Structure 1
Amino acid sequence: MNLRDLKYIIAVAETRHFGKAAERCFVSQPTLSGQIKKLEEGLGVAIFERTNRSVAVTPIGNAILEHARLIMEQADVIEQLALAHQDPLAGPLRIGAIPTLSPYLMPLILLPLKQQHPQLKLVLSEEMTDRLLDRLHNHEIDAALLATAVDEPDLETIPLFDEPFWLAHPRDHAFYNKETITRADLENTELLLLSEGHCLAKQAMDICHLKGRQEQGVMADLRAASLETLLQLVGAGFGSTLVPALAMRGSWTSGSGIVARKLEFKDAYRRVSLVFRHSYPRRKALEAFIEVLLAQLPNTVTALKATARKGKK
């Protein structure tokens, strides 16, 4: 048994497919299948139940996989400790970010980070919050930029900045002639939302007091998978939406038929934080990343004093 074998069985368990697991591990399917079969024979148990149509984990397989993940996590910690000892600002830094933040924030950071820390190789991934947290727990990424509160004992959170929301509506909307947009106005308007799973959708509903609304009907049917699609719907006259401040730098702000107005509510913002494992050893790499990020923020957001906060036990 070796770490490679454990990596193989974890990949099969997560993909439920030998071919997809082989692609993830950058080996051929016969190689991966043969190694797993050899491992099962050596242990004297079946980790997977195979049929022509599916792959399932056996009860003993689940117990083995639980320990395999712990071993792989510790192996990753050993590698990170060695790298941190050599040079904490050298090597890959794997950062995940939510889709409503990454396209607008990361372009501001990439070049300055490369100029100031050329040995630090930023590896980016863009996924929704739940998936990023899973990848963080599985040591697939080192830290995640999130806009929702996380309170887990093995994770730490560093609040970075508060990002106000703007209201985007068509030029011919009734809001065009209103000097001030009130919360009551938003409660009675057709608000377009992102599809389920995006934290921005829940934040918009909370700000506009829309809990329980728009679960069915035209507006529910028009939920979009991305902020860009949502804005295209607004430009086409289908309704209004809330836009985080950093997205105001997008090309849609000119020639799209959309009017954008900052909301003047005290709670009309989201807090963006960096979340990472408490055991992550390369703190200096995270500090360098945060320093560059805060220095590049535009004045449309409010930078915060970067102080780590642990989750509750």
Structure 2
Amino acid sequence: MTITQLQYVLAVAEHKNFTLAAEKCFVTQPTLSMQIQKVEEELGILIFDRTKKPIQLTEIGFKIVNQAKNIVNEADRILDIVHQQKGFIGGEFRLGIIPTVMPTLLPMFLNNFIKKYPKVKLIIEELHTEDIIFKLNNGHLDAAIAATPLHEEKIKEIVLYYEPFVAYIPENHGIYGKKEIEVEDLNVEEMLLLEDGHCFRDSVLNLCKNNNNLEHNHFQLESGSFETLIKLADEGLGTTLLPYLHTLDLKEKDHVKLRHFVEPKPAREVSLIYPKNELKIHIIDALRTTISGVVKGAIIFQNVQIISPKSEK
């Protein structure tokens, strides 16, 4: 069997459809089917149960697919070893970034990175955390930037920075007059949150778990963007929390509505994450160095308390 045949097997295992797998592999469906059949004939077993819709792996097929992933990864590692030996930092690199980090962090480091490493072709996707985890585990991303810790066994995390939460309090609110606030000052029932699926929302919920005001998970309004939440707060519909870097881009008239928390400030941990068996470590190191350099001057908070987007089990 060949590496290419194993790649075809992995494609069908992922998409559960021969036609779609062939499209993703840029071959015709008959060619892909024939090559997979050759592997099955060589091994004397069936990898796929073709009688089911969608196509399912057989019991032995599960084991073969897991081994095929290892073989394909190790084959790719050969070229990676050569690149590292030559000091070459280039090639395609697929990076996922969560929506609450993308608009503030990406403009800070992207220009610096592409100027310093012009041979790297960055392919960047904005993805929710669960999609990032899935794509990392299935080889569709090389790395990602997300809020951590995630407690994922197969994923390694390198902390880039700690970003405090900042409250946005409209002028007509009862705690507007306070210079600094505490978590207990927040009324969770009037909190404006991002819609479900955003890890920043999960972090806010975890932050407020010990808040006596939290009696049930009923929120009047949810939105997909911080800008909408800010406008709703300005209309007197509640308060919201923002990541610190996002506050740097607010208009001057809105800065008076920001309230920092007393120390230790609740914060999220933002990390560069990647599979533990990742090949392109030299590019990951280059990304980490570039991002750390630009963020160091923007965030000077030291005494913070990290709030995970995922509850401890």
- Equivalence for 1:110: 110
3-state SS, counterpart of residue 206 of structure 2: helix
- Equivalence for 2:246: 247
Distance 1:257 1:108, change over 3 A: closer
- Equivalence for 2:286: 288
Deviations for 1:181-205, whole angstroms, at most 9, x for unmatched residues?
A: 3322214551133344432122112
Residue correspondence of structure 1 range 1-313 to structure 2 within 5 A: 1-51=1-51, 53-150=53-150, 155-187=155-187, 189-209=189-209, 213=214, 216-219=217-220, 222-227=221-226, 230-231=229-230, 233-234=232-233, 237-250=236-249, 253=251, 259-280=257-278, 282-297=280-295, 299-302=297-300
Distance 1:203 1:217, change over 3 A: closer
Q: Matches of 1:19 and 1:231 in 2, distance apart?
A: 46
Q: Matches of 1:80 and 1:292 in 2, distance apart?
A: 21
3-state SS, counterpart of residue 176 of structure 1: coil
Q: Which stretch of the first structure deviates more once superposed, 225-234 or 21-30?
A: 225-234
TM-score of the superposition, structure 1-length normalised?
Answer: 0.79
For 1:112, give the aligned amino acid.
N
Q: CA deviation at 1:210?
A: 5.6
Q: Matches of 2:51 and 2:227 in 1, distance apart?
A: 42
Q: Matches of 1:85 and 1:125 in 2, distance apart?
A: 29
- Equivalence for 2:308: none
Distance 1:32 1:215, change over 3 A: farther
- The question of whether the paired residues in 2 share the 8 Å contact of 1:73 and 1:138 is answered with no
Q: Which runs of 5+ in 2 are unaligned?
A: 303-313
Deviations for 1:169-189, whole angstroms, at most 9, x for unmatched residues?
A: 445444434444332221455
Number of residue-to-residue matches in the alignment: 301
Q: CA deviation at 1:105?
A: 0.6
3-state SS, counterpart of residue 186 of structure 2: helix
Moved over 6 A (4+): 254-258
Deviations for 1:189-240, whole angstroms, at most 9, x for unmatched residues?
A: 5113334443212211232336794755443xx4444545544554555432
- The question of whether the paired residues in 2 share the 8 Å contact of 1:84 and 1:281 is answered with no
- Equivalence for 1:310: none
Q: Matches of 1:89 and 1:154 in 2, distance apart?
A: 25
Distance 1:49 1:229, change over 3 A: farther
Deviations for 1:41-74, whole angstroms, at most 9, x for unmatched residues?
A: 4433322223584222221211211111111221
Distance 1:207 1:300, change over 3 A: farther
For 2:246, give the aligned amino acid.
A
Q: CA deviation at 1:275?
A: 2.5
- The question of whether the paired residues in 2 share the 8 Å contact of 1:170 and 1:235 is answered with yes
How big is the alpha-carbon RMSD for the aligned residues of Structure 1 and Structure 2?
3.4
TM-score of the superposition, structure 2-length normalised?
Answer: 0.79
3-state SS, counterpart of residue 301 of structure 1: coil
For 1:248, give the aligned amino acid.
T
- The question of whether the paired residues in 2 share the 8 Å contact of 1:187 and 1:210 is answered with no
Q: Matches of 2:229 and 2:75 in 1, distance apart?
A: 42
Q: Which runs of 5+ in 1 are unaligned?
A: 305-313
Q: CA deviation at 1:3?
A: 1.9
